[in-house]
Amino acid sequence: MSELPRQHGHDASRNPLVMKLGGSSIEDAGAIRRSWRILESRLSLRPVVIVSALAGVTDQLLTAGKAAARRSADLANNIFADVHFRHAALARELVAGTEQENLLSQLNEDFNDMQILAQDLTAAGEFTPATQDHLMGLGECISSKLVCAAFQQAGLAAVHVDARSCIVTDDRHTYATPLWELTNENLRRTLVPLLQSGQVPLMAGFIGSTREGVPTTLGRGGSDFSAAIVGGALHASRVEIWTDVDGVMTTDPKVCPDARVIARMSFDEASEMACFGAKVLHPATLLPAMRENIPVHVLNARNPQGEGTQIVAHASTTNVVTAVTAKRKVAAVEIETWERMNVELLGAICAVFDQHRCPIDVMVTSLGRVSLLVGSTSPLPGVAADLEGVAKVRWENHKALICLVGENIRRQPEVASRVFAAISDLDVRLSCQGASDRTITFLVEDSKADESVQRLHRLFFPEKTAPKAKSSPVLTQTSETQPAAR
């Protein structure tokens, strides 16, 4: 089997580049043209392209699936028709001749599959995780075919690769995990010969399949993860995440308009940010890159000349705090046990949460009590029912988890004192410095999240004041400079 060499200093002439084009980077004809120009400028780096669904399509498909399961067939069909029309219009604008006919035929087949899925959902009255994966993954399948055909029309040697034949996962639908050895073998066997022949492999992100060929997805935002998976398998020179912002920001610019681009940060800092609310990266994105020490660049497709953010193994900085994040719609869960807390009991509690697909963000234990923060309340009634007789489960909704991220932030005690002095009047419910040295987190009411973030961002990222203008020289009053007589 053809094999790419392992990296030694990220030699771009030997190791390929992986580019992930997000939904905003391909949302319309103009965006797709911008993206192929970016790709064209990187052909010497042997790129592999990962494509998301068009902006907004994943949410549309999810809404349509839920509508079909509620037997609102008309609503589902109207959504499918809108999505179909959008893709067909782009196909006609970007692709011509026989290639256009072939592309439209492929799109028709995929939308027929959507209609059949919708009919099955309506008959069953249930939107199972497996069916959700099948339906939502079609958004990436369709967009990747469209973008590949558009790139081919522009003269690029792009070739479409079905990601489901390469990325093999477990059967944990809606948040699947790759089977790494098999996935890496598939990717190398499929992509290396294409790269060696000078072609540009293009594949959908977000999707995979089980060993049995059942479609799966890697979780919302999983196209980032797909890019890192491919990058790790190919020992890429770097992974580029192309989005609609100038890079990873010090906080959400919608909350703080003076948020700044972080020029360089560590894998660990970026991972903490992704886990605690930053939306630029999928939480699992950096794991394959960290394992293979592959730099990740976050760049703006609307501003391709920008430097963006570089994420590397180690990044020195003079800033104590790198970023402030907020994870909203968090529930605070209190579990009171009937016996002394021990490892076996704690393991059983965690297993119940895992069984109900309820990820735990933060956990604090005491003698007979466990305090948890989770990002979804819908599984909690089932969790409480399964733990009945073992523990009493209570929860409160509408919380927000605020997190400060920075290398060795815990080793500087003055940071925590400054933080809590700044937000002491906001009814902070819980503080936790986490398992790492890089975070300080606390809980507030969701309605106070913006104010908390704004205060802390002002505290650690004060506005830069412009230098004072030099005073103008004093003029000696002559007859020409005397004030006019009144």
Residue 9 within any structural domain of the chain: no
For residue 294, pLDDT beyond 80? yes
Under 8 Å between Cβ of 209 and 164 = yes
* Residue 330 CA neighbour count, 13 Å, CB half: 32
Q: Give the dihedral sign, CA 204/209/215/220.
A: negative
When pLDDT is averaged across residues 267-271 and rounded to a whole number, the result is: 88
Average confidence (pLDDT) over 172-194: 95
302, 387: one domain:
no
Q: Is the pLDDT score of 293 beyond 50?
A: yes
Over range 191-219, report the average pLDDT.
Answer: 96
Is 10 part of any domain?
no
Q: What is the mean pLDDT of residues 456-485?
A: 55
Over residues 385-411, the mean pLDDT reads 87
298 and 435 share a domain? no
Instruction: Judge whether 466 lies within some domain.
Output: no
Q: Is pLDDT at 387 greater than 70 in this prediction? A: yes
Based on the fold, state whether residues 346 and 415 are members of the same structural domain.
yes
Query: What's the pLDDT at 433?
Result: 53
Contacts of 276 (CB under 8 A, 6+ apart): 325, 327, 361, 401, 403, 405, 439, 441
> Among 34-43, 203-212, 284-293, whose mean pLDDT is lowest?
284-293
pLDDT band of 431, cuts 50, 70, 90: low
SS3 440: strand
Among 277, 312, 347, give the residue marking a domain's end.
Answer: 312
Within a domain: 413: yes
Number of domains in the chain: 2
Q: Examine the pLDDT at 486 and tell me if it is beyond 50.
A: no
Q: Note whether 334 and 300 are same-domain residues.
A: no
- Which helix (H) or strand (E) is 21 found in, with range? strand 17-21
| Whether residue 207 sits in one domain with residue 163 | yes
Number of helices (H) and strands (E), helices first, in the chain?
13, 16
Phi-psi sector, 131: left (phi>0), alpha (psi -120 to 50), beta: alpha
Tell whether 173 is covered by a domain: yes
Amino acid, single-letter form, for residue 278: A
pLDDT greater at residue 153 or residue 428 = 153
Average pLDDT rounded to a whole number, residues 347-370: 85
Check residue 295 and give its pLDDT.
95
Secondary structure (3-state) at 38: helix
Question: Phi and psi at residue 256, in whole multiples of 5°?
Answer: -125, 100
List the single range of 64-73, 356-365, 376-385, 425-434 with lowest mean pLDDT.
425-434
Q: Mean pLDDT over residues 373-382, rounded?
A: 87
- Cβ distance 161 to 201 under 8 Å? yes
Query: At a CB cut-off of 8 Å and minimum separation 6, what does 453 contact?
Result: 251, 252, 255, 256, 324, 325, 326, 402
Crossing angle of the two packed helices 57-69 and 97-124, in degrees rounded to 10: 40
Per-residue pLDDT at 184:
97
Q: What is the pLDDT of residue 176?
A: 94
How confident is residue 416, by pLDDT bands cut at 50, 70 and 90? confident
pLDDT tens-digit readout, 48-74: 999 999 999 999 999 999 999 999 989
Residue that the structure tokens 């579990």 belong to: 335
Which of residues 280, 312, 344 is at a domain's end? 312
Does residue 158 sit in the same domain as residue 291? Answer: yes
Confirm whether 477 is domain-assigned. no
- Tell me what the pLDDT averaged over the chain comes to: 87
- What value does the mean pLDDT take over residues 380-393? 90
Whether residues 387 and 242 share a domain: the answer is no
Mind listing the pLDDT tens digit for each residue in 101-129?
999 999 999 999 999 999 999 999 999 99
Per the domain annotation, does 292 fall within a domain? yes
Q: What is the model's pLDDT at position 9?
A: 41
Q: Which structural domain, as residue segments, surrounds residue 342?
A: 323-460
Whether 207 and 270 share a structural domain:
yes
Q: What DSSP assignment string belongs to 75-111?
A: HHHHHHHHHHHHHHHHHHHH--HHHHHHHHHHHHHHH
Residues 59 and 122 both lie in one domain: yes
Which of 252, 279, 312 is the C-terminal boundary of a domain? Answer: 312
pLDDT surpasses 50 at 194: yes
Confidence of residue 455 (pLDDT cuts 50, 70, 90): very high
Q: Are residues 300 and 368 in the same domain?
A: no
- Measured in degrees and rounded to the nearest 5, phi and psi for residue 440 equal -130, 125
3-state secondary structure of 181: helix
Give yes or no: residues 222 and 297 share one domain: yes
Structure confidence at residue 419 (pLDDT): 86
Looking at residue 474, its pLDDT comes to 36
Gap between the Cα atoms of 64 and 67, Å rounded = 5
477 and 471 in contact (C-beta within 8 Å)?
A: no
24-28, 111-115, 280-284, 449-453: range with lowest mean pLDDT: 280-284
In a domain, 360, yes or no: yes
346 vs 454, more confident: 454
| Residue 212 belongs to domain with CATH number | 3.40.1160.10
Single out the residue of 269, 275, 308, 261 nearest to residue 290, CA to CA: 269
At 235, the pLDDT band (50, 70, 90 cuts) reads very high
Q: 378: domain CATH number?
A: 3.30.2130.10
Q: What is the pLDDT of residues 151-178, one digit of tens each?
A: 999 999 999 999 999 999 999 999 899 9
Examine the domain organization and report whether 205 and 155 are in the same domain.
Answer: yes
Lowest mean pLDDT among 27-41, 257-271, 289-303, 431-445: 431-445
Average the pLDDT over 305-316 and give the result.
89
